[in-house]
Amino acid sequence: MNDFVSIEGLEVPAVIGIFDWEQAIQQPLVIDLEMAWNNQPAAQSGDIADALDYDAVQRKVVQWIDEKPWGLIEEVAEMLAARIIDMYSVATIKVRVAKPTAVKAARTVAVTIVRAQAETE
């Protein structure tokens, strides 16, 4: 499949980090998602029921990140990939989780993963 639905630059406040002081504050995570999705049915019908509802996806991402304190951005990336594949039947997903406040001298640090349905089952 060559169609994708993307969400770029979704900023989500999170309790994230491996240090004690990080577990007492919120820091921004910046989430980018690229989800394989057949866009042709929605294009033909004009019906949101045939589309990947990116608003629903972003609301779930915010909810899931807010559920608990996180240690590593790698954990967040894996959780998002597995849950989005499961909930929305996305065949393949590319997830990038960036933590702009992690390294003072860098604009951001990030991890990027690519997962497919068979890898999360």
Active site residues: 99
Residues in the chain: 121
Cβ neighbours for 103, distance < 8 A, ≥ 6 positions apart: 109
Q: Parallel, antiparallel, or unpaired: how do β-strands 109-116 and 92-99 relate?
A: antiparallel
Q: Cα-Cα-Cα-Cα dihedral of 80, 116, 98, 18, to 10°?
A: 60
- Distance, CA of 64 to CA of 114 (rounded, Å): 19
